[in-house]
Amino acid sequence: MAVINLWKRLFGFRNKILSIDNIINPRLINLLSESGTGFQDSFSGYRILTIGRLDYQKGYDYAIEACKRLYDDKLNIRWYVIGAGPELAQLKNMVIENELEDSFVFLGQKSNPYPYIKQCDIYVQPSRWEGKSIAIDEAKVLYKPIITTNYPTVGCQIEHQVNGIIVEMSSLGVYFGIKSLITNANIGHELSKNLREENLNNSREIDKLYRIFGEVSKW
């Protein structure tokens, strides 16, 4: 009976709860991706990019271990990270221990990350968990092949082998996902093609907020 009463109470809030997604404006993102300079090095191989706070949640240990495997395979890659956070020193030590100083590069925080996304070849989200990743949505807007780990909410953004590749949550999973894109260019081309056909503009989400303001003004 207690469970039934609780359910009734929660059900009563159904019309009082509103979900508003992070607003993605493709026109603005594309405009910003053309400003600034992006990558400053002369690297000519596959540029891999990850954006996010440097902490345990984001799975950078998976990324570094995957990078080591790719390096040992003699694949011409360089992995870049945009972000800051408490694990920077620890992650830098891990990079040094694996002799990846030239292959795994920390770029720090960037006020405009979009030129980097536009110029990269593969976007990777190696997270252990996420809510809804803004970085993935931004990479989708710029039609980048995306590799992401199989955290619980990933399905709300990525459909496996349609608009991205979902891999096992491990360094091995990330490694195999990236390698599949590098060794078979057709996979990445197909993912980008599908993203171009996807409606990625959700700027009308702001209307929900206006609706709330309108209701509040009636009080």
Give residue 212's pLDDT band: very low, low, confident or very high (50, 70, 90).
low
The single-letter DSSP state of residue 121 is S
Residue 9 resides in a domain: no
Phi, psi of 216 (to 5 degrees): -60, -40
3-class SS letters over 10-47: HHCCHHHCCCCCCCCCHHHHHHHHCCCCCCCCCCCCEE
Q: How much is the pLDDT for 199?
A: 85
The string of pLDDT tens digits covering residues 167-193 is 999 999 999 999 999 999 999 999 999
User: Mean pLDDT, the chain, as a whole number?
Assistant: 90
Residue 36 resides in a domain: yes
Number of H helices, E strands in the chain: 9, 6
Q: How much is the pLDDT for 218?
A: 60
Residue 59 resides in a domain: yes
Q: How much is the pLDDT for 23?
A: 73
What Å distances lie between residue 178 and 5, 71, 110, 166, 209, CA to CA? 50, 12, 24, 11, 39
Residue 52 is part of a domain; what is its CATH number? 3.40.50.2000
Number of domains making up the chain: 1
Residue 47 resides in a domain: yes
Which position has the token pair 């345990």? 56
Whether pLDDT at 214 is above 80: no
The string of pLDDT tens digits covering residues 52-106 is 999 999 999 999 999 999 999 999 999 999 999 999 999 999 999 999 999 999 9
Domain coverage including residue 135: 23-213
Residue 8 resides in a domain: no
Q: How much is the pLDDT for 6?
A: 54
| Pairing, β 146-149 against β 165-167 | parallel
d(CA 147, CA 136): 9
Tokens (6 digits) for 132: 């809804």
d(CA 203, CA 219): 27
Residue 15 resides in a domain: no
Tell me the mean pLDDT in the region 38-49: 96
The string of pLDDT tens digits covering residues 126-174 is 999 998 999 999 999 999 999 999 999 999 999 999 999 999 999 999 9
Tell me the mean pLDDT in the region 191-213: 76
Name residue 176's amino acid.
F
Between 171-183 and 185-196, two packed helices, what is the crossing angle to 10 degrees? 90
Residue 69 resides in a domain: yes
